[in-house]
Amino acid sequence: MGHNKEFKRFLFIVLASNAEVETQLIIADKLNYIEKIKLESISKKNRQA
């Protein structure tokens, strides 16, 4: 039983981390710190993880 609870917590942390990366990418894009093509590539890889 405990393993299932730990796994759910792990998945929640992973999703939150991915959301944080997406937020940072959006900010980097708005501040012109990253090229669109690189942004799209990194964002795509982040969503696949």
Write down the pLDDT at residue 2: 74
Dihedral over Cα of 39, 41, 47, 49: its sign: negative
Write down the pLDDT at residue 9: 95
Write down the pLDDT at residue 22: 92
Alpha carbon distance, N-terminus to C-terminus of the chain: 26
Write down the pLDDT at residue 19: 93
pLDDT in tens, the chain (49 residues): 678 999 999 999 999 999 999 999 999 999 999 998 998 999 898 888 7
How far apart are alpha carbons 45 and 28 in whole angstroms?
A: 16
